[in-house]
Chain A
Amino acid sequence: MLFNSWEFLILLGLVLALYYVPVGWRARRVWQVSVLLAGSAVFYAWENPRLLALLGFSCLLNALAVERILSWKAVGSAGQCRAKRWLFATVMLNLGLLAAFKYAGFLVSSLPDGLVSDGVVDWLSDIPLPVGISFYTFQGISLVVDVWRGDVSDTTAEHLGRRGSGRIGAVRDASFYISFFPQLVAGPIVKAHEFVDQIGAKCFGDVDWRTVRRCLILGYFLKIFVADNLAEHTVRLSSLGLSLERFGPIVLLSLLYGYSLQIFADFAGYSLIAIGLGAMFGYRLPENFRFPYLSTSITEFWRRWHMSLSSWLRDYLYIPLGGNRKGSGRTYFNLFLVMFLGGIWHGAAWKFALWGTLHGVCLAIERAWLRRAGRTGTSTTQARVIPKVFGWAVTFNVVTFLWLTFMMPDMASIFAFFKGVGSGNMGFSGPPPFSLIFYGSWVVAYHAWGWLDEHKPMVAARFKSPAFEGGIHALMLFLIVTNPGAPRGFIYFQF
């Protein structure tokens, strides 16, 4: 089910009404979590009910593992080894599930010809990709790891570790964390220690409606007005293939920069809607984007873009691998590995691996350059305007051109793109440049606002008055209603 569909609005209205039905304080927690679980199940099963079985299996698996880990940890040092085994087995099972449903066809088809029969390759390639599996698998892993590390509160640990009649409540809470519908299919990836301690009875009066309002209006604006309108043109980049070389640089670059702004608007829009919906039910979901196109380096970009994935990879992969504490060689290896896996997390195709690896290369070059600059005494981090602007321009263009590997179907299409860009054909049709300016300028304005907020907070404060906010929200709502794009799914649903 899409956030930008009528069915979703109906479901949301129903769930919200039931969620805040006056129920006694003691029963409220159970009631509210059950309502959200049921709503999440309907949300997830809407297009393909069979996928619910897999989600249910993932929930049960992780809930059971959490209970076992907690009970072995309670035994003391003697149980630590058992708890660790349970942790390892559960992480492997989670990854196995992901591998089976997302990567099996890809891995087998990458093997040399003749090693596996064509029938098996076809069968594995035909396994449908369950929507959101990459997201809920990562949350499942986060749950067992955080419980094992002791990163959740004692009260939550006690609740999740209940046995006997309390086991139903433990399974319910664990399932709720994994399947909470606002973040179920496309994030933000919520780490267990950020969420499970929040599970509890909520009051309608405690809802932070300002956050709800801000996130929902901006999120829907970015998705429906900006991303969906840009998408009508940028889709040509991935669909025209070799015909791209017939176009000139004005059209092709308009499409590419349009895509760069579109993917931000699409994913940041989704994340904001998710955060707003979470707040509506009394839950704080983590920030996922912080004006990423203001970044003055690739390192900074990854601190601002898809922050929940970056921090997940940092906490559960990069740091356990040793991070940057085991020498420069190991650090570079860790960077490459994390970015390669981060790339392939997006999809079972070499193009995603290439995209991630190229980002890894950029990070490594940047790191080496910064270390060298540090040795020669040339500080690149000092607040000088020209290096900052230069860094910003390079970063934005590198990120934008790397999106080509992310969205193009093959290398031939990328070559066709560059052939067209270099053709010197300055003719163009109006819609792509118009669309880039008319819709893309809102993303630019949003980042300009972000820059003001970060660098000139006193000036930004003037634009935070309720009257100004009301006017801006009216403009956004007006454009959502009168100028929506053709409805489309979210780009990150495919991951």
Chain B
Amino acid sequence: MRYLASLLFTAAILFSIQGYALWRADGRPGKNESNFFSSIGRIQAGIKIEPRVMLLGSSLTGRLPDESNGFEGVANLGCDGGSAADALRAIDRGRLPGAPLLIVEGNTLYKSAGAPPSEVAKALDGVWFSMGRRFPLLSAAARPSAFFYSALLESRVGAFDTTESMPLPVVSSPVVPVSSADLDPDEVELVLELVDVISRLKVRGMVVEIVILPPGAPEGAPNVEVPRALARTADVRFWDLSRGLPEGAVKLTDGVHMDRESATATLRCLLAEFESSPGQAR
């Protein structure tokens, strides 16, 4: 009897503390120590709101701010270790809701060519993902480790005010490409699959834009050619943000991922362009 009373009492206290911490963090602490759960947490938090813009991609996209950082109506569905193909497929089969504007990160699309679904993509079909959507305390954002890790990061890096950041000084603009390099058979298959997905999403009223985020990749690399071929075949706009950027305009933390200031400037730039003229090539 004492065992059961103690069990229930302690459990009630622990869930109360967790609920309070989640409330204090506005439903989502900054970061998880786990790439997998960071991605799941971002997606669960992203689809809780009714977003007007969805950012789909890998950990490069994951660094971009979203509604929890003051960008109202923006949901970040970046999958660490995956690519935008995972989220596109999930939206297509109704596993995730869509949004009027889908901004697709092109940098890592090629990784999904001939590859099995990523861990995150598999998790989207799991019971735990649905439970987390329904019960916030069971969501990836509410993991105790996320609270501790976020607090630790915050104490090391400090808070960053997203309102002070300016858009990236880009000189390029989105276009519907007219040509692309040859792709290998797996890449062709991926492009054809995603063209079908995008066409169905268009029918549902969504606008898809494909971007190459900084730091970008050399011309001719699959990082650029696969999304370019996809944009050309699906007749959607393609924008290589990394082209023509002044040196030092983007700062990277580990040679690959943007720091928070650069990521915020990038998002401002994307929203300014795509929200003013969605789907319209200049």
Contacts and interface: CB of A to CB of B under 8 A. Distances in A.
Interface of A: 6, 229, 232, 429-431, 434-435, 438-439, 465-471, 473-475, 477-479, 481-486
A474 B36 contact: no
B153 A478 contact: no
Contact of A229 (B6, B14, B34): B34
Contacts of B9: 471, 474
Interface stretch (B144-152, B178-186, B262-270): B144-152
A314 B64 CA distance: 59
B137 A471 contact: no
B93 interface: no
Nearest to A433: B33
14 contacts: A6-B127, A429-B254, A434-B152, A466-B1, A468-B6, A470-B10, A474-B6, A474-B8, A478-B15, A479-B144, A483-B144, A483-B145, A485-B34, A486-B34
Contacts of B149: 430-431, 434, 438
A481 B128 CA distance: 10
B138 interface: yes
B6 A438 contact: no
Interface in B106-141: 119, 123, 127-128, 137-138
B221 interface: no
B144 A486 contact: no
A483 B138 CA distance: 8
B2 interface: yes
4 closest Cβ pairs, A-B complex: A470-B6, A474-B10, A466-B3, A470-B7
A467 B148 CA distance: 27
B35 interface: yes
Given A438-B145, A478-B11, A483-B145, 19 more contacts: A6-B127, A229-B34, A232-B34, A431-B35, A434-B149, A434-B152, A466-B1, A467-B2, A469-B6, A470-B3, A470-B6, A474-B6, A474-B7, A474-B8, A474-B9, A475-B10, A479-B144, A483-B143, A486-B34
Contacts of B6: 466-471, 474
A435 B33 contact: yes
Contacts of A229: 34, 145
B141 to A, nearest CB: 11
B165 interface: no
B136 to A, nearest CB: 11
B171 interface: no
B15 to A, nearest CB: 7
Contacts of A475: 10, 14
B2 A466 contact: yes
B209 to A, nearest CB: 31
Nearest to B157: A430
A438 B146 CA distance: 11
A254 B137 CA distance: 30
A467 B127 contact: no
Contacts of B156: 430
A470 B145 contact: no
Given A467-B2, A482-B144, A232 B11 contact: no
A130 B2 CA distance: 46
Contacts of B3: 466-467, 469-470, 473
A477 B144 CA distance: 13
Given A429-B254, A430-B33, A482-B143, A470 B5 contact: yes
A439 B144 CA distance: 11
A441 to B, nearest CB: 12
B223 interface: no
Nearest to B149: A434
Interface in B12-38: 14-15, 18, 33-37
A479 B142 CA distance: 11
Contacts of A435: 33-34
Interface string B156-173: 100000000000000000
A229 B8 CA distance: 26
B7 A486 contact: no
A426 B67 CA distance: 35
A425 to B, nearest CB: 13
B4 interface: yes
B128 to A, nearest CB: 8
Contacts of B4: 470
A434 B6 CA distance: 30
A410 B187 CA distance: 32
A484 B14 CA distance: 16
Contacts of B1: 466
B49 to A, nearest CB: 22
Interface string B207-230: 000000000000000000000000
Nearest to B32: A431
Contacts of A6: 127
Contacts of B7: 470-471, 473-474, 477
Contacts of B142: 482
A474 B11 contact: yes
Contacts of A431: 33-35, 149
Contact of A474 (B14, B34, B37, B144): B14
A483 B5 CA distance: 23
A469 B144 CA distance: 21
A49 B160 CA distance: 56
Given A6-B127, A229-B145, A482-B137, A434 B10 contact: no
A6 B127 CA distance: 9
